[in-house]
């Protein structure tokens, strides 16, 4: 395929190729209920999934649902999330979101983007993750640091702001594939196209990448 092929032309092949490379790609956060995934994703902001998975067992044992977290003040949550970074803000958001879930949703996680975005600490990234993995609803493309980086390197978007990258990606593949595109880019970003030292010579999708092995840091 010529290097000047448009993002729209290359995206379907990228999606297929990455699917072959990462056939079992799925959410890396540990969770067993929609509430747990909601909280885990909130904690993952500026924090690795590995770190979040170390935090959540004790957190969810103490606060297994919205009712438990809604009944305390943020200070009671802080010790459980301290190593996640910005722990005071995150503890406050967990309690605030839990209280709104109790007040307006009977303690259950809502299944629409609009309702999720009303919860403290929830932006489109968190809402998209919860909707896709808990309910099978593709309401958007999750743009984390890996997706943002690869979207630029692969020239799928010329934007740097995740809020602008997301609609660019949404135009490239059918809606049922939105979360597949995201999770496959995340896995490829971790395995090959890292932030500091992308392995361009060993990249299985280099022929679909306009940077052609010249990725800059």
Q: Which helix (H) or strand (E) holds 25?
A: none
pLDDT of residue 136: 96
- Angle between helix axes 124-135 and 34-43 (nearest 10 degrees) is 150
The arithmetic mean of pLDDT across residues 174-196, rounded, is 96
Helix crossing, 162-170 with 178-191: angle to 10°?
120
Write down the pLDDT at residue 4: 57
The pair of structure tokens assigned to 11 is 């995206």
Domains of the chain: 7-25+141-208 (1.10.1670.10), 34-135 (1.10.340.30)
pLDDT, mean over the chain: 94
pLDDT tens sequence across 38-94: 999 999 999 999 999 999 999 999 999 999 999 999 999 999 999 999 999 999 999
| Maximum alpha-carbon separation in the chain | 59
What is the per-residue pLDDT across 101-128, written as a single tens digit (0 to 9) for each? 999 999 999 999 999 999 999 999 999 9
State pTM to two decimals: 0.91
How confident is the model at residue 210, as a pLDDT?
A: 86
- What are 7-26's pLDDT values in tens digits? 999 999 999 999 999 999 99
Catalytic residues: 125, 144
């Amino acid at each position: 395929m010529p290097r000047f092929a448009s993002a729209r032309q290359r995206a379907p092949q990228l999606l297929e190729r990455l699917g072959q490379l990462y056939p079992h790609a799925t959410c890396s956060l540990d969770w067993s209920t929609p509430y747990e995934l909601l909280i885990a994703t909130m904690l993952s902001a500026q924090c690795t999934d590995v770190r979040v998975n170390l935090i959540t067992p004790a957190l969810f044992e103490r606060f297994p649902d919205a009712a438990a977290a809604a009944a305390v003040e943020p200070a009671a949550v802080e010790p459980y999330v301290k190593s996640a970074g910005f722990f005071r803000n995150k503890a406050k958001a967990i309690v605030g979101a839990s209280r709104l879930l109790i007040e307006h949703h009977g303690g259950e996680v809502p299944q629409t983007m609009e309702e999720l975005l009303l919860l403290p600490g929830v932006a489109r990234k968190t809402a998209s993750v919860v909707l896709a993995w808990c309910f099978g609803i593709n309401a958007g493309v999750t743009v984390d640091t890996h997706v943002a980086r690869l979207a630029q390197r692969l020239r799928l978007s010329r934007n740097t702001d995740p809020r602008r990258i997301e609609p660019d990606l949404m135009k490239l593949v059918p809606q049922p594939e939105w979360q597949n595109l995201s999770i496959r880019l995340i896995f490829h970003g971790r395995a090959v196209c890292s932030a500091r030292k992308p392995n361009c010579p060993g990249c299985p999708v280099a022929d679909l990448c306009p940077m052609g092995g010249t990725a800059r840091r």
